[in-house]
Amino acid sequence: MEFELPILSPSILAADYSNLGNQLQLCEKAGTKWIHCDIMDGHFVPNISFGPDVVAAVRDSAPNMFLETHLMIENPDNYIEAFADAGSELITVHLEACPHLHRTLNLIQLNGCMTGVAINPATSLELIRPVLKIVDLVVIMTVNPGFGGQTFIESSYEKIQRLTAIRMEEQTQFLIETDGGVGLKNIQKLVKSGADILVAGSSIFRADDIPERIELLRKKANLGRKDFV
Ligand code: DX5
Ligand code: ZN
């Protein structure tokens, strides 16, 4: 996988579902390389979003984008195959929903996908140490998962910085993603703190001009990378 960092990954949770193909085209036109699908089950999180059929439709509408699926669901093992078959290239599960995390990550790999592990804002980084050498992506939730358009939790910057230090300590290579409340006001500082992938939902899809917003976000993210490197 060769991508230039930082990467902006639009979350379709905030998209206009009656016009999804067109919204994805707008993203593509603005040079979007990754797309983020949020799966919510009404149990692990209080909201319900969509399932594998919609992910397959995203795959068809955006065949060139790298498709990441963020499972905010209980018992993710039961659904990994379906989301892999739908065209996901990376599947993220929540530490808080996985009592047998190695087994779950193994299952994602067996289904031909890259692996991600997400942690909620109140979950300690120490809890993911045992899997840091085997995951491709760590997602630091910067809101409590379940809804788009929530307020970014400010203590997240420090958590990202600590994770970049742990990555050095452990001499490993996973990517760091931030998800929730990302927008023009904080994207530069997030990248400066160590974020490699920035998920943004409402900031992109609620903008009047989607391609223009993507470009602006990317510009600010790139400034943050200069500060970080
Ligand atoms: C939150 C989801 C996010 C969400 C981000 O539960 O995992 O991916 O769509 O939306 P915004 O950018 O609106 O906070
Ligand atoms: Zn997400």
Contact 20, 12 (CB under 8 A): yes
Residue 227 scores a pLDDT above 90: no
What is the tens place of the pLDDT at every residue in 181-205? 999 999 999 999 999 999 999 999 9
Q: Is 179 a catalytic residue?
A: yes
Q: How is residue 8 written in tokens?
A: 């902006």
List, as ranges, residues with CB under 5 A of the ion ligand 2: 38, 70, 179
Percent of the chain as helix, strand, coil, to the nearest 5 = 45, 20, 35
Q: How far is the CA of 211 from the centre of ligand 1 (A)?
A: 19
Q: How is residue 25 written in tokens?
A: 């085209």
Domain count across the chain: 1
Would you say the CB of residue 71 lies under 6 angstroms from ligand 1?
A: no
Looking at residue 2, its pLDDT comes to 80
Would you say the CB of residue 38 lies under 6 angstroms from ligand 1?
A: yes
Residue 51 lies in a domain: yes
Which domain, by its residues, includes 130? 7-228
Contact 6, 191 (CB under 8 A): yes
Would you say the CB of residue 149 lies under 6 angstroms from ligand 1?
A: yes
What mean pLDDT comes out for the span 113-137? 98
Residue 208 lies in a domain: yes
Ligand 1 atom at minimal distance to the Cα of residue 70: 7
Give, in order, the Cα–Cα distances in Å from 42 to each of 74, 80, 122, 146: 9, 18, 20, 9
Contact 120, 96 (CB under 8 A): yes
- Residues facing 179 on adjacent strands: 141, 199
CATH number of the domain residue 51 falls in: 3.20.20.70
Q: How far is the CA of 123 from the centre of ligand 2 (A)?
A: 16
Residue 13 lies in a domain: yes
Would you say the CB of residue 179 lies under 6 angstroms from ligand 1?
A: yes
What mean pLDDT comes out for the span 111-136? 98
Q: Which of the four pLDDT bands, split at 50, 70 and 90, describes residue 228?
A: confident
C-alpha gyration radius of the chain: 16
The string of DSSP codes covering 128-157 is GGGGTTT-SEEEEESS-TT-SSPPPPTTHH
Residue 2 lies in a domain: no
